[in-house]
Structure 1
Amino acid sequence: MKRISLFLLVIASLFSTKTVFSQLILGPDTLCIGNELQLSTTVTNASTYYWGFCSAYLKNLPAGSSIAAGTGLAGPSSIAMAKDGNHYFVYVVNATAPRNVIRYEFGTSLSNVPLATDLGNFAGSIPVNPKGFELVNTGGNWYGFLTGGATSITSDIIRFDFGNSLSNTPTIVDLGGLVLNPQDLYVFKEANNWYALTNNGFSGNLIRLEFGNSLTNTTPNVVDLGNPGSLSDPSGMWPVFDGTDWHLFLVNRGTDRLTRLDFGTSLLNPAVDNDLGNPSGLLNQPRDISVIRDCGSYYGYITNENSNTMTLLTFNGAVTALPIASDLGNFAGFNGPRYLTRFLRDKDNVFAYTTNNADNSISRLEYNTCSNAAPPISTLQTPPPVTYATPGLYNVYFASDEGLPTMQVDCKLIRVLPHPIIEVNNDTLICQGDTILLVANGPGLFSNLWDPVYNTIAPYDTTSIFIYPKEDYRYNVHLEFTQGGGCAYDTSVFVRVSRITADAGEDRL
């Protein structure tokens, strides 16, 4: 499993499944090399502001590595990641007996080498075949839910009680065999009541656990919702709220197929099944899926346990659009990859982790900031102008009131174009009394303006003007290749006037 259900807005994230985006960043979205980008925000009176002008962009390819995760890994399977205050934690559950739980503390950055602590197996309380794992924060306390087992004897769901910090050693509460062969799970709150969704791994049936108004209820009501249609050995799930409706993506390990369940405005509604098949034939014993949103677009990531690869799903537009699948290959040392964490943004970098069951390692997936912006960051409400060194697409990340309940985040894509081709007269010499045509143009020119207009024939906002200076004069022209001034250039033509009286013939055009 991978998610963390955050019911404290203190830890709100750009990639929270419940985030609804509003326009917090104002300014142009296109400029050219050599031009300055001036942005501002609609947010006022915040305690902190953060701008990242070369932030991680998910249309790029991720980097990855198999990290030195310390001691204790033995057939790692379940994994969950969370940010507690300013510190990041990853918890891993081993599938190999004695099925110990390992805590990884990354400090204040997910790029750090983590400190590993083996918490043991809690007196044998960890179920066999550990699967879905979710961390939940509510009322200032942290809880973890873990599914496992396969048979009627071994099937189990347990709860970790951490208290007020993920750095604490949790206690275990055994909820028993509520579901036969439970798979991944998602814990959520609606109308002041707590619920969890999971699957029966044998039948594929969707199961809802109803905890009532207390997440610590040890006897939740179990509702078998049946198989909506295409679920077969569903092993991983990921919920998405698109601002209006809820959707649940599931990977079917038994059939190498992807399913999307549509619930409408509430996860308590009946599910409508959408069999998305095997996108581009890339799924190969898919184990888990994580879907994230970045700058208004959705991206899905699937671990393929049999081929040691990751599949990227790109949704053009709505999350209900048919995704385009791409093979990312094995870029992070995958070896029997199982469950994924959610993706977390650490300011301008984005991270996720997966367990590698076959070689006892953890793979880190990361989208990193670039170094092409000057300045790279700002902590002012209105940042200074920004310039970019090379053409391309850049992601601007904005956050205000970081770490507070009033935290807001937004992002904006900036397109940086190469220096445009400018066609302009060379400096020239004419005889006094002559008229000459000056031209300033270029492919894709949006507008231009000549100024000053000494002895010039109107109009002055065209690519060419007729001039008849009586003395040496410099004619300046302002060219804009995009609307809004993001690709503006100033140039000039110096015209020298010969005062020799002579008849030069017809005016040169």
Structure 2
Amino acid sequence: MYNFATKVCSYCYISRLLRNFFFWIMRKYLLLVVLSILSQLQALKAQTLFTAPDTVCVRQPVHLNSTIFDAASYYWGFCSGAITSAPSGVNMGNGFGFHQPSNIEIQQDRNGQYYGFVLNASTDEFLRLNYGTSLNNVPTVTNFGNLTNGLPHHPTSMFIAYDTLAENWFVFVTGGYTKAESAVGRIDFGPTLGNPTPNIANFGNLDDPLTPAVNEFVGPKGIFVAQDADLKWYGYVVNRFNNFLVRMDFGTNISNTPAVVTIGNPGGVLNDPTDMAAILDNGQYYFFVANRGNSTIARINVGPVLNTTAMTGSNLGDFLFRVTIPSSISLTRDCGSIYAYITDSTTSQLVSIQMATAVGPYTAVDYSVVGGMNFPSSISTILRDKDDLYAFITNVADSSLTKVTITQCTNASIPSFTEVTPPVYYYNAPGTYNIYYVINQGKPNMAVECKSIVVLPIPNIFININPTICKGDSIKLYVISNFADSFAWSPIYHIDTAYDGDDTVKAWPDYTMNYNVEIFYPDGCIVDTFIHVNVVKVTADAGPDRTILDGATSILGGPDMTLEGAVTYHWTPFQYIEDTTVPFPTVNPPSDFTYVIEVTEHSSGLTCQARDTVTLHSNCGDFYLPNAFAPASTSSLVNRFGVINQGLSQLNYFRVFDRWGVMVFQTSTPTQMWDGTYNGTPCPTGVYVWEADGFCVSGKPIKKKGNVSLLR
């Protein structure tokens, strides 16, 4: 008879063989992948992503340079929230359905959404907070209840784990106020933490094979789960009631029910532990434990692998009484250092411990009560959302939620930038600022680096402010600072280059300009300032040399004459000039004549002068007389008629005749003119004839006749 069961079992056996062979091949392959990724991450960590100065001065240009040029994306935060800064906080109230909340954790999903999870100890409830894409949002709440009675009774702590190979999310939960109800469970969310119907597996209380029938969870708290380099998953809890550390071995599948191993109390440092946080630092695992029993923080040195029992413990103390009845602890790495945040359950204080490495040295800061903390039970991991840091605290006394933030500062001239080469920027106030740089945001090869930059106040500088000189003069410019190393002046236009590296330099600019000077200090501070030199450019322009007719007038002065400002004018000599104090006077020299103009400007307590000359040449080669005159006019320029030459050495005669030939006027005196009368009687309107004869100063004889109109 055909044995169907045997056939099925044979298929099962062959199937298991094929499956095991496949998993063996995949493990080998995945191990190589993991080791390759770890190698790349170590290389990224060792490689400096960007260069920046350590120290600058206020308003000093800051130049940053990326060392990575082929990334998929770039983000620069120039004034990013520094985890060393004192946090601010706000109590968001108790409208989230909390009932004696015992633990909170926050995580960003792969789709960029932020989710928080809260345990209600008194009502055995598991809550999800949906923040959307920003932790600054007020979250919406999904209450999963006790997940069909699968949630451990009186849940106390949890840990969010992500299986990168299966691409699934898990939340591990501990619970139990007594040994009888102590348990550990796993909530499976699948590919997204936003799953509306997660599954739960309650492991209950497990036994160590070395001590069968002895439950190992005794008030488990502070759970931690991770995949080690051997691709196996391990978890750890601390038992509050017997001070034991317990390890869970999941094997290569995080969904397995774990086997447990009791580690004990390494170094005797556990004393009523309330929480535990873990970190991998320099290839070594470390657990930091908050002890309620003696108000201390303990460190357990696990070693390079999680599968070990050879651990040592160190009691780090209470940090000068800053730690008092601690309720929770979280660890985060930021800007090259590790930070622990601790909540005190009775004082409601927040304490930060900064460490360069997990083994110290340690610096503790007490931030007192932040954001209305009220008997806090738990603090989430510190999360950085680009330039802002967030943490969330659950409060037992009023079942409220406190949001703790360290926000981006506003002291950078440019807050952020998203290209490989950032622009030059500056800080407007002294302090220590955080530069945050991310490449390949959200990708497996994402890398982050941040650097603190110290901005110093501008040192005391003595400077000659806005000096004023006359064009053509020189001045000593000085920028004196006691602690400066060197100086660099620019531009080098009309500057003594032999001293352009000193604090004092001689300059003689021809126009108003700025001389820049960079001052270099030994601490890296560079002050870039300038001296504005005001040049009073007074210009005297007497006009071009010229030749004028003998006896003619001419106007002195040229287009480049300074006309604006507190300016005075002085022409010399004073002969044959209409006004010696105006910029454009009228002159009628009798012969060749040279005039000098002196222009004076009074500006900023400074007197500046300029001079110029003009020569007028008088051309005596003819007689010059007007062609009409009006004896009845009141103007002496038009009511007389005669020779206007001034360059005559002798006038033999000057005669005027009417139309009938009667001579109505004659003279041999060059300055004597006809007044339009004959024998005391006014002559009628009409045209008259004149004739003149004489010699120029040069000895040249001249003789001429002409007509003139008498007008009445």
**Which TM-score tier does this pair reach, normalised by the shorter chain?**
0.7 to 0.9
Distance 1:69 1:468 in 2: 71
1:216 counterpart residue number: 255
Deviation at 1:313, TM superposition (A): 1.6
Deviation at 1:71, TM superposition (A): 3.9
Deviation at 1:352, TM superposition (A): 1.1
SS in 1 for 2:367: strand
Distance 1:482 1:96 in 2: 62
Higher relative contact order (CA 8 A, sep 6+): 1
- Cα distance per residue 1:124-155 (max 9 Å; x no partner): 22223322201111121111100111433201
The partner residue of 2:172 within 145, 162, 166 is: 145
The question of 1:479 aligning with 2:507 is answered no
> Is 53-62 or 235-244 further displaced after alignment?
235-244
2:226 counterpart residue number: 188
SS in 1 for 2:156: coil
Deviation at 1:205, TM superposition (A): 1.5
Deviation at 1:421, TM superposition (A): 2.8
Question: CA 1:382 to 1:174, structure 2 compared with 1: closer, same or farther past 3 Å?
Answer: same
Gaps of 5+ in 2: 1-32, 207-216, 538-712
The question of 1:274 aligning with 2:311 is answered no
1:86 counterpart residue number: 112
The question of 1:51 aligning with 2:91 is answered no
- Cα distance per residue 1:224-273 (max 9 Å; x no partner): 11211211111111112223322211111111111111233333342221
Amino acid at match of 1:292: T
Cα pair 1:68 1:113 within 8 Å, conserved: no
1:154 counterpart residue number: 181
Higher CA-based Rg: 2
2:488 counterpart residue number: 449
Amino acid at match of 1:211: F
Deviation at 1:484, TM superposition (A): 10
Deviation at 1:383, TM superposition (A): 1.7
Gaps of 5+ in 1: 1-7, 499-509
- Cα distance per residue 1:322-377 (max 9 Å; x no partner): 42333212112222211221111111111111211221112111111122222211
- Cα distance per residue 1:373-423 (max 9 Å; x no partner): 222111111122222232222111111221111211111222223333322
Amino acid at match of 1:175: F
Cα pair 1:254 1:285 within 8 Å, conserved: yes
**Higher normalized helix content (fraction of residues):** 2
Number of equivalenced pairs = 481
1:354 counterpart residue number: 393
> Is 189-198 or 455-464 further displaced after alignment?
455-464
Distance 1:247 1:53 in 2: 32
Distance 1:249 1:64 in 2: 25
1:287 counterpart residue number: 327
Cα pair 2:105 2:381 within 8 Å, conserved: yes
The partner residue of 1:225 within 263, 266, 270 is: 263
Distance 1:379 1:470 in 2: 43
The question of 1:39 aligning with 2:79 is answered no
The question of 1:172 aligning with 2:200 is answered yes
- Percent of counterpart pairs with the same letter? 33
Cα pair 2:328 2:379 within 8 Å, conserved: yes
2:383 counterpart residue number: 344
SS in 1 for 2:320: helix
The partner residue of 1:96 within 89, 111, 122 is: 122
The question of 1:76 aligning with 2:95 is answered no
The question of 1:312 aligning with 2:352 is answered yes
2:406 counterpart residue number: 367
Distance 1:31 1:198 in 2: 47
Cα pair 2:152 2:204 within 8 Å, conserved: no
- Cα distance per residue 1:14-44 (max 9 Å; x no partner): xx9xx94642122323322333222221222
Question: CA 1:286 to 1:422, structure 2 compared with 1: closer, same or farther past 3 Å?
Answer: same
SS in 2 for 1:34: coil
1:237 counterpart residue number: 276
1:501 counterpart residue number: none
Distance 1:103 1:54 in 2: 32
1:247 counterpart residue number: 286
Question: CA 1:459 to 1:453, structure 2 compared with 1: closer, same or farther past 3 Å?
Answer: farther
Distance 1:474 1:133 in 2: 68
Amino acid at match of 1:393: T
The question of 1:109 aligning with 2:152 is answered no
Distance 1:283 1:406 in 2: 38
1:489 counterpart residue number: 528
Q: Using structure 1 for the length normalisation, give the TM-score.
A: 0.86
Alignment of 1:298-337 (within 5 A): 298-315=338-355, 317-337=356-376
> Is 456-465 or 297-306 further displaced after alignment?
456-465
Cα pair 1:72 1:100 within 8 Å, conserved: no
Distance 1:62 1:210 in 2: 38
